[in-house]
Amino acid sequence: MTSADSDTPASTTDSAASAGSEALVVSAPAEPTAPSALVAPTAPAAFNAIPAWRSPAAWCVLFLVFMAAVSLDLWSKDWAFRTVAPQPVVLVYEQVSGNPGYSLPWHPGVTAIAPDLLDFHLVLNHGAVFGIGQGRGPLFIAFTVLAVCTALWVFGKHTSSRSHLSHIGLALVLAGGVGNMYDRVAVGAVRDFLHLFPHRELPWGLHWPGGSNEWFPWVFNIADSELIAGMLILMLAIHLNERRQAMAAAGAAARVVK
């Protein structure tokens, strides 16, 4: 994801969320809530469930959602950089990598959803989410590798074969991180092209810290959307399982009273 006030015509957001963009999402399962909250809580389910790493069905869900999400992200980036500008934009790694000043050919952008809801506009992000940390690509790549390993560890050790909602969330988080990491390794920067609410200004003369007065002055990509969606799904899974655990505990207490 990139900020609209970068050197490019629109700004970039990398990425929960580029391979960055990235950090925030994969760490979501390890929040204060215990990892066991992701495991099916009811007594019958817990009795029949096995750890996710021993379940072919759980691996299948994780792999299929991951592959579909990564494919969608990489295809959408390729399509955007071929079609949004008047001429296809060809990126050479040696020219892009480590060069935040690299500029794309000027183009007016394409209205995707009118009126002023979504535009396609090409930008390159050399940083992380909202363009933070420009020029630190190798650090973001290393952090993404660590985050991916952490997400797989959470999947294998702290979810059960029945935690399908958690597996979908983890798959989206993994896909978002890997999709943006691929751009850093193969292209030299993250390709962004989605710009929400273009030309819509904040009221009362308000501005974002970077100086932009647009509602949403960042340009992002499908991987960033997958990161954020995955994190929200994981939060929902934790909430639903905690509620089931509370209901199961209340039922057990009621039976003891009787």
24 and 129 Cβ atoms separated by less than 8 Å: yes
- Which tokens belong to 165? 């909602």
Active-site choice (5, 119, 183, 192): 192
- Mean pLDDT of the chain, nearest integer: 81
pLDDT attached to residue 21: 41
The average pLDDT across 43-49 equals: 51
**Max avg pLDDT among 69-83, 95-109, 210-224, 238-252:** 69-83
Active site residue 224: yes
Active site residue 73: no
Q: pLDDT, tens digit, for every residue of 87-128?
A: 999 999 999 988 888 989 889 889 899 888 999 999 999 876
Higher pLDDT, 87 or 251: 87
Kindly compute the dihedral angle of the four CA atoms of residues 75, 78, 81, 82, in this order, to the nearest 10 degrees.
Answer: -100
- Which tokens belong to 114? 């009118």
Whole-prediction pTM: 0.77
Q: What phi, psi does 50 have (nearest 5°)?
A: -125, 160
Active-site choice (14, 73, 119, 224): 224
Q: What percent of the chain has pLDDT over 90?
A: 49
Question: What distance in Å separates the CA atoms of residue 230 and residue 176, rounded to the nearest whole number?
Answer: 9
The answer, yes or no, to whether residue 133 has pLDDT greater than 80, is no
